[in-house]
Amino acid sequence: MKIHIRIPSLPGRALLCAGLIFNAAYAAEIIGAGSSAAAPLYKAWAEEWGHAAGSTLNYAPVGSGAGIKAIEAGKGEFGASDVSLSKEELEKFGLVNFPVAISGVVPVVNLPSVPQGELKLTGPVLAEILGGTITQWNAPQIVALNHGMSLPDLPIVIVGRADGSGTTYVISNYLGKVSEEWAKHFGNNLKIQWPASAQLATGTSGMLKAVAAQPGAIGYAEWGQAEAAHLHIARVANQHGNYPAPDAASFKAALENSSWSTTGDFEEMLTDTAGLNAWPITGGTFIIMARHVTDIKRATMALSFFSYGFAKGDATAARQGWIPLPERTQVRVLREMSRLVDSQGLPLNWKMAY
């Protein structure tokens, strides 16, 4: 089985590169584009599923913004984003979206003198750091949170995403909840206007490389990829003043205190939830598909692929740093998947036995 992962070399060409993969030569493949954070999860699932299904996934991790634009333009079988589209946008473009897994966004830092996982930040202090207000790692606001720690006298180097990113959306949503100044000056979006001093990177891999290359740097990434890159991760205080480790347990704690678990509604952001041990910057990753299908074979293959992930892919997701959806959410997801119809308005049938 082959898996094509294509990454654009220039930020401005993200959508163009996404478009280039939609080629008739790959008619036997499922084609998708979007979230770079979730790309390892889709690749791992595809490697397992492809052996049984005899099918191939062609996925371009060009960022959530480019993935959304591609599927809105009718390119490929699915787009992937780390944020749910609004009902208005889904209706406007005739789309359906549903989550497939949950993970956390974590601050990543290049501070060799600071032990892994020991740096503590509150949400407001993180907002001041990424907003360019706090400029030194030994600033009093950071020292006060890290008693006894020897913080370096280094300037803070902000690394932000240049491309439209669901990871940016999740962290900016969180920062806007805990900091009025952040909400006022930066807002909440897939792409924000970073301070003039910030370095900009494209994609999750670009973010991780930029932080690793610059002492004093701070950025943000999906937890599993940050762990795989062996970068230092800062802990962030939740509503209760606790500093949970970012892991499956703290992501589940965020889920348990949300409508995802209680009613199956996945439109709610999972940032700053009330769980005692909840990681405060938790989010899902979503699949976006056209509701009215033109290529039935490839659309049903895509549905089969994602239903495989729900049915058989939990252990694989865990190895990639993602956790499965709550049961109530999975029931809602299956309803959303069943809304896809052919040209006659009839529901599609896809394989769910593996």
Contact 212, 110 (CB under 8 A): yes
Question: Does residue 203 lie in a domain region?
Answer: yes
194 and 251: one domain? yes
Instruction: Give yes or no: residues 170 and 111 share one domain.
Output: yes
For residues 340-349, give the mean pLDDT: 93
| Same-domain status, 123 and 150 | yes
* Confidence band of 11 (pLDDT split at 50, 70, 90): very low
Residue 151 domain-assigned?
A: yes
Under DSSP, the state recorded for 160 is E
Report which of residues 109 and 328 the model is more confident about: 109
The share of the chain scoring above pLDDT 90, in percent, equals: 81
pLDDT tens digit string along 258-307? 999 999 899 999 999 999 999 999 999 999 999 999 999 999 999 999 99
Residues spanned by the domain of 149: 105-262
Rounded Cα distance, 129 and 131, in Å: 5
Mean pLDDT of 45-74: 91
- The tally of domains found in the chain comes to 2
Same domain, 114 and 229: yes
Q: Is 67 exposed, middle or buried (0-12, 13-18, 19+ CB in 10 A)?
A: buried
Does a structural domain hold residue 345?
Answer: no
233 plus 147 within the same structural domain: yes
CB 169 within 8 A of CB 188: yes
Instruction: Tell me whether residue 245 is in a domain.
Output: yes
**Is there a single domain that holds both residue 244 and residue 288?**
no
Q: What is d(CA 227, CA 221) in angstroms, rounded to the nearest whole number?
A: 10
Residue 62 lies in a domain: yes
Are 316 and 228 in the same domain?
A: no
Give me the CATH number covering residue 174: 3.40.190.10
pLDDT given at position 20: 33
Establish if 272 belongs to a structural domain: no
**Claim to verify: residue 86 and residue 199 sit in the same structural domain:** no
Residue 348 lies in a domain: no
| Residue 248 and residue 182 share a domain | yes
**96 and 127 housed in the same domain:** no
CA 24/CA 209 separation, integer angstroms: 34
Residues 142 and 166 in one domain: yes
> For the chain, what is the total number of helices (H) and then of strands (E)?
15, 12
Question: What is the model's pTM?
Answer: 0.90
Q: Kindly state the tokens that stand for 5.
A: 């992962």
Residues 92 and 117 in one domain: no
Residue 252: what pLDDT?
A: 93
Residue with tokens 């299908």: 293
Q: What is the pLDDT of residue 236?
A: 98
67 inside domain: yes
